[in-house]
Structures are given as structure tokens and as C-alpha cells.
């Protein structure tokens, strides 16, 4: 993204090319436009306390994977194979996780690698035929509704596994640990979230995320919600907020795109992401968990993490507990 200075330069050059001088008139500075869907301040509802449901434990994998293209009759996987494509809800703007590569025009990233591995387990040509996956771009707030409406087979979009969400959808076993942190403009005096709270500053996170709930709980902080994390990033660049807050795996990609920003602060939380799957499709959950089990066993998952997210260090160990 171009920073705000580029816009000012364009306006200056346009003024220099004016055909006639006009009388000087004082005008108030126009505020930079905000992305659509922004709420400032955001209305945040905290989920009610719940008994521990062991949110990090998914359903036990199948004992062995069926051969690609030969799914059990009547299974959710057989329906996907019959359709001819796997429909996955994901992001297209999460650099390093799931983003549109400008050099190829294709989606790439850590989560896209996982999607392709699952497609390869379903279809004989899942590795080579790009038409075997239909990616659908969704917002953070869309993740659960599109599953409940049956519009996608699964969601791979850094979705935290928690008890409230388990009541609405099912999850695969966890594939990615992340820590919620802050992204600020480089050179600012912000080192912790409490620095922002003391000044009554603003922090942006996406609507429907666990991140917005956590920042709203910090005294003095004004939570701002947006449809997309890149919308928060734009507001940070325009000086409309003090920080962006989400998982460090997402912030890493934003900071790589704009070296004028940096990740700061101690982790506000540590959260495990799983693949979201519609309730009633436990057979698909068990199938996906067997795919993930194989990726953990042969090192593919760790190698993908190192390739895309290695700047964060070595990946934390993933849990292997199941709920049945």
C-alpha cells in the first residue's frame, strides 16, 4: 500500500498544473476517507463465561485415508468428489497466510498450502488441477455464517478454536498457534497496549474476531472494528488509529508489506486456529484430521511454517488430544 505521502504528492502536482491562480482561501483539512464498514467506537459484546469444553480437542481421525477419488459411499467427502471441487472460505489479503500473488495471479501462503494438501487427499489430480479448489473470499465475520448456510465445505482463515464457536460449528485439530499483538507505526512511543489505554487511543481489529473482544477489555482503549485487517492497516497509515491488533501470524505479513510499521508488545493471548467445518459433517472432520496427522508426522506442516512464517521463530508444538 502507498502511504499517505503519495496522495499528498499527487495533490501538490495537480495544483502546480492549474491554469490560473485563484485567491487564497482558508479551508479546513479534509479528513482521509475510512474504509466501508468501520465502527468507531465498536460495540463489542463479550461472550458469557462457559465451562471448559476443551476447545483444542477435535474428533479422532479415521484410521486410514481412502484413496483419492474413492471416498466412502454416502460420505461428505464423496459428495465433494462428485461435485468435482472443494469449496474453501479464506482470505485474499493476508500476506504470507492467504494472499493473491501478484507475480502468478494465484493464491499463495501457509493456509493455501494446507488447502491444496486436503484437495490432494480428495482428488487424484488434486495437486496438479487448480480447478479442484474453489476459493471464496470471506471476511472475519462471515466465517461461521457461510459454514452454517452450507456455502463452503470448510473455512481456512485463522479461526480461533473456542467454546462459543464449537456450539456453532466443528473444528479440525489445530494447525497454527498464534499470539495476539500490536502493529504500530515505527518510531512511535507505543510499547504496550496500556500505553494506548492511558491516552484513550484507538486500536482496530476485525468485526467478529476474538481480538476485538480482548482490546475492548483494556481500560481506556477505544476499540475500532473493520471488515478486513487491511482496512485497519489503511487507517493506521492514515493516522486514524494508534494500532492494529490481531494474531502475530497476520501482523507479520502486514509489517512485511510496510516497513514503516513494527510489531510490539507482549502477547495479549495465545490462540490455536483450526479448520472450520459445518456441524453434522464429523466424517469430514475426521478425514481432515487424518490429513493433518500425516502432515505433522512427515514434517510438511513444520516446513511450511518455516517457509512462510519462519520470522516468528520455530512453531510451537501442536496438541494431539481428541474429544472421543
What pLDDT, on the 0 to 100 scale, is given for residue 284?
99
Of 22 and 112, more confident: 112
Among 1-5, 59-63, 137-141, 187-191, the range scoring the smallest mean pLDDT is: 1-5
What pLDDT, on the 0 to 100 scale, is given for residue 17?
41
Per-residue pLDDT at 11 exceeds 60 = no
Of 116 and 1, more confident: 116
What pLDDT, on the 0 to 100 scale, is given for residue 30?
52
E strand or H helix at 270: strand 261-277
Spatial distance between the Cα atoms of 235 and 296, rounded to a whole number of angstroms: 38
What pLDDT, on the 0 to 100 scale, is given for residue 231?
96
Of 33 and 318, more confident: 318
Q: Strand 93-94 relative to strand 98-100: parallel, antiparallel, unpaired? A: antiparallel
The answer to whether the beta carbons of residues 81 and 124 sit under 8 Å apart is no
SS (H, E, C) 142-183: CHHHHHHCCCCCEEEEEEECCHHHHCCCEECCCCEEEEEEEE
E strand or H helix at 108: strand 107-108
What pLDDT, on the 0 to 100 scale, is given for residue 29?
44
Q: What is the largest CA-CA distance in the chain?
A: 80
String of DSSP letters for 216-246: HTSTT-EEEEESSHHHHHHHHHTTS-SEEEE
Spatial distance between the Cα atoms of 240 and 222, rounded to a whole number of angstroms: 12
Per-domain residue ranges of the chain? 76-177+272-312, 178-270
What pLDDT, on the 0 to 100 scale, is given for residue 21?
40
Per-residue pLDDT at 23 exceeds 80 = no
Question: Please, what's the b/e burial string for 68-90 (b: 16 or more CB within 10 A of its CB; e: otherwise)?
Answer: beebeeebbbbebbeeebbbbbb
| Strand, coil or helix: 257 | helix
**76-177+272-312 and 178-270 share one fold:** yes
| Strand, coil or helix: 112 | helix
Residues 76-177+272-312, CATH architecture: 3-Layer(aba) Sandwich (3.40)
First to last CA, the chain: 47
* 67 class by beta-carbon count within 10 Å (0-12 exposed, 13-18 middle, 19+ buried): exposed
Segment 276-282 shows an average pLDDT of 98
Spatial distance between the Cα atoms of 285 and 290, rounded to a whole number of angstroms: 9
Under CATH, what is the fold of the domain 178-270? D-Maltodextrin-Binding Protein; domain 2 (3.40.190)
pLDDT tens for 79-113 read: 999 999 999 999 999 999 999 999 999 999 999 99
What pLDDT, on the 0 to 100 scale, is given for residue 45?
84
Segment 36-58 shows an average pLDDT of 85
Amino acid at each position: 500500500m502507498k502511504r499517505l505521502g503519495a496522495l499528498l504528492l499527487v495533490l501538490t502536482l495537480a495544483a502546480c498544473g492549474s491554469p490560473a491562480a485563484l485567491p487564497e482561501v482558508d479551508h479546513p483539512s479534509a479528513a482521509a476517507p475510512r474504509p466501508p464498514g468501520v465502527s468507531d467506537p465498536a460495540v463489542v459484546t463479550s461472550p458469557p463465561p462457559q465451562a471448559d469444553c476443551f476447545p483444542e480437542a477435535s474428533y479422532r481421525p479415521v484410521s486410514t485415508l481412502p484413496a483419492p477419488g474413492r471416498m466412502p459411499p454416502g460420505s461428505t467427502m464423496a459428495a465433494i468428489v462428485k461435485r468435482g471441487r472443494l469449496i474453501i472460505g479464506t482470505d485474499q489479503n493476508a500476506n504470507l497466510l492467504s494472499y493473491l500473488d501478484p507475480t502468478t495471479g494465484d493464491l499463495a501462503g501457509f493456509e493455501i498450502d494446507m488447502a491444496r494438501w486436503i484437495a490432494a487427499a480428495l482428488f487424484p489430480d488434486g495437486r496438479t488441477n487448480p480447478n479442484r479448489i474453489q476459493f471464496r473470499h470471506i471476511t472475519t465475520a462471515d466465517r461461521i455464517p457461510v459454514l452454517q448456510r452450507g456455502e463452503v465445505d470448510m473455512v481456512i482463515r485463522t479461526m480461533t478454536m473456542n467454546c462459543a464457536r464449537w456450539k456453532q460449528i466443528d473444528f479440525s485439530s489445530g494447525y497454527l498457534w498464534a499470539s495476539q499483538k500490536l502493529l504500530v507505526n515505527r518510531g512511535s512511543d507505543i510499547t504496550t497496549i496500556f500505553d494506548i489505554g492511558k491516552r484513550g487511543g484507538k486500536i482496530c481489529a476485525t468485526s467478529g474476531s476474538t481480538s476485538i473482544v480482548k482490546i475492548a477489555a483494556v481500560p481506556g482503549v477505544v476499540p475500532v472494528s473493520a471488515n478486513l485487517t487491511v482496512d485497519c492497516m489503511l487507517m493506521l497509515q492514515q493516522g486514524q488509529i494508534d494500532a492494529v491488533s490481531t494474531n502475530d501470524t497476520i501482523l507479520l505479513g502486514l509489517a512485511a508489506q510496510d516497513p514503516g510499521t513494527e510489531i510490539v508488545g507482549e502477547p495479549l493471548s495465545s490462540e490455536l486456529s483450526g479448520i472450520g467445518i459445518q456441524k453434522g459433517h464429523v466424517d469430514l472432520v475426521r478425514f481432515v484430521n487424518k490429513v493433518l496427522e500425516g502432515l505433522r508426522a512427515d514434517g510438511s506442516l513444520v516446513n511450511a511454517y518455516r517457509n512462510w512464517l519462519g520470522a516468528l521463530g520455530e512453531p510451537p508444538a501442536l496438541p494431539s488430544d481428541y474429544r472421543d
